[in-house]
Amino acid sequence: MLAFPKNIDQIKMRNQRIMFWIARGISYSIIAILILILFFILKRGIGVINWEFFSTMPKEGMTKGGILPAIIGTLYLVAGSMIIAFPIGMLSGIYVNEYAREGQVKRFIKLMTNNLAGVPSIVFGLFGMALFVNQLNFGASILAGSLTLALLALPLIIRTTEESLKAVDNTFRHASYALGASKLYTIRKVVVPIAFPNIITGLILGIGRVSGETAPILFTVAAYFLPRLPNSVFDQCMALPYHLYVISTSGTDIETSRPIAYGTAVVLIAIVLFVNLLANFLRNYFSRKVKMK
Amino acid sequence: MSYKIETRNVDLYYGDFHALKNVSMQITPKTVTALIGPSGCGKSTFLRLFNRMNDLIEGVKIKGDILIDNKDIYKIKTTEVDQLRRNTGMVFQKPNPFPKSIFENVAYGLRVNGIHDRKKIEEQVEKSLKQAALWEEVKDKLKKSAFEISGGQQQRLCIARALAVEPEVLLMDEPASALDPISTSKIEELIYELKNNFTILIVTHNMQQASRVSDFTGFFLLGDLVEFDKTKKIFTNPVKQQTENYITGRFG
Ligand SMILES: Nc1ncnc2c1ncn2[C@@H]1O[C@H](COP(=O)(O)OP(=O)(O)O)[C@@H](O)[C@H]1O
Ligand SMILES: [Mg+2]
């Protein structure tokens, strides 16, 4: 007869427990770090947050007053870049996954997309300046900034679209073809609707990425100080991350404007969280429509 | 008498892999033909010949003649492929309703093919759901998402979706293998009903199912059609030793 080691089941159980607690400890400490960051920023910045802070222009060399133009600027840039990047990224994702034949060209496109994702954002900034600001003569403007940020977010959106489409079971496509539907009709009516909740994840990641970037907007749109709101896409604008950078490094009086810097960080975080929540809500809405039992 | 479907010396290759070997079969109109055999022997591949679904796979080569109503379906114009696919409904192993309402699932094939008259669509949806023995269960929730009904109901919905475009041939690839016994017997009853109006090919791993629902049975092994005959004959007195081994479960 086979003699199993004594207590083997207890030992297995103990090992399970140890691993479980290590894993749990690590994931909880990640939450703790996030809370710590939020607490740190909130504690220093909450003091300046009031209605005036949201709704007025900076005053006295940005040591007083609100950050309205930076908030508006960031909202414009996020919206502008996503309006450009989301449809284009989605279309290229659809092309790569649904139309491109397996082989060299497809692999090359994928490789390039991955490389593009790895390019440092300051390089995008320089490129955006050379192409959009100078070559195409848009000047430093919301248009040039949005285009530059769109390039930055593009690989993310392409890749998420691709992955989401790949996850759609082939039998859905075949069932549609079997009814005489064309490829285009199948993609529009069956494949993309099933994948859409996941495609929106790309949008969420894109928003998170562009809303916090400073380097790409540095030479393409961001104004150091602009005491009015932009009124066309050819205007410059302020932006939260750049404003934060300016008042904490090169403002007129860095020490006095410290609370405003933290207040700006609070608002930036709040906006990113809010937009993420909104996108999450959208995703849940679409996934309820296509959810499997 | 003429056959509904006929294959003559069909060979199919996936690249270098020889998946169907010199397969010839004749299928009588309005009968059920069961395709049996171990996994990977080419049953699904064979089924996909008849709506040219294999065309979608890169590197597929097909030789031989494949006829439906005495017409070689691989010699038709590209523009006629959609019509061919309309004429041959397909049902898959896993229920795969589209992310739409029950109504829109059945209406899909109609809209795809240019029918937009509301009245006509409603009529056809009702007719198809009745044919698929699902109407009574869903008539009050046609607007509900197709994902809200049970797996067995979803599979009958997929059958209704295929029937809506009024095909003459129905291709079913293990349509009950993902379902519970009760849903399975409902599908089997349904197949029995449907053969009054359709020519049906069904792939199945379930020997009892094959013997219950089909008039003819084809036994495949490694791409060969080993034996094809009346179901009764195959299950009581097969000619080939391999067939007997397989249906009695002595297969190794
Ligand atoms: N798309 C494909 N590319 C290459 N080989 C395939 C493909 N589909 C099926 N095959 C091969 O062809 C053989 C028959 O497959 P299939 O028709 O699916 O068998 P069955 O339905 O009887 O299980 C298997 O060996 C399988 O690996
Ligand atoms: Mg199969």
Examine residue B139 and state whether it is found in any structural domain, yes or no.
no
Number of domains in chain B: 1
* Separation of alpha carbons B100 and B143, rounded Å: 9
Q: What is the ipTM of this complex?
A: 0.90
Question: At B242, which CATH number?
Answer: 3.40.50.300
3-state secondary structure of B232: helix
CB of B182 sitting under 6 A from ligand 1:
no
Distance B42 CA to ligand 1 centre (A): 6
pTM: 0.84
Nearest CB to B99 within list A179, A181, A289: A289
- Distances A162 to A88, A159, B56, B195 between C-alpha atoms, Å: 13, 5, 20, 42
Secondary structure string (H, E, C) spanning chain A? CCCCCCCHHHHHHHHHHHHHHHHHHHHHHHHHHHHHHHHHHHHHHHHHCCHHHHHCCEECCCCEECCHHHHHHHHHHHHHHHHHHHHHHHHHHHHHHHHCCCCHHHHHHHHHHHHHHHCCHHHHHHHHHHHHHHHCCCCCCHHHHHHHHHHHHHHHHHHHHHHHHHCCCHHHHHHHHHCCCCHHHHHHHHHHHHHHHHHHHHHHHHHHHHHCCCHHHHCCCECCCCCCCCCCCCCCECCHHHHHHHHHHCCCCCCCCHHHHHHHHHHHHHHHHHHHHHHHHHHHHHHHHHCCC
CA distances from A222 to A57, A69, B108 (A): 16, 11, 50
Distance from CA of A291 to the nearest CA of B (A): 7
User: Is residue B131, in this structure, part of any structural domain at all?
Assistant: no
Residue B135 lies in a domain: no
Residue nearest to atom 26 of ligand 1 (CA): B40
For ligand 1, atom 20: residue with the closest CA: B40
Q: What is the pLDDT of residue B169?
A: 96
pLDDT at B251: 60
Interval A146-190: pLDDT, tens: 999 999 999 999 999 999 999 999 999 999 999 999 999 999 999
Instruction: Fold for A77-292, please state it.
Output: MetI-like fold (1.10.3720)
- Contacts A289 to B, Cβ<8 Å: 99, 145
Q: Could you list the pLDDT tens digit for every one of the 252 residues in chain B?
A: 689 999 999 999 999 999 999 999 999 999 999 999 999 999 999 999 999 999 888 899 999 999 999 999 999 998 889 889 989 999 999 999 999 999 999 999 999 999 999 999 999 999 999 999 999 999 999 999 999 999 999 999 999 999 999 999 999 999 998 889 998 998 999 999 999 999 999 999 999 999 999 999 999 999 999 999 999 999 999 999 999 999 988 764
Cβ of residue B113 closer than 8 Å to a chain A Cβ: yes
Ligand 1 atom 5: residue of nearest CA: B14
Q: Is residue B10 part of a domain?
A: yes
For A88, residues 6+ apart whose C-beta sits below 8 A from its C-beta are A150, A154
**Residues whose CB is less than 8 angstroms from the CB of residue B251 and which lie 6 or more positions away in sequence, other chains included:** B38, B245
B48 Cβ inside 6 Å of ligand 1: no
- A290 to chain B, any CB pair closer than 8 A? The answer is yes
Token output for B86: 């309309």
What parts of chain A have a pLDDT lower than 50? Answer: 293
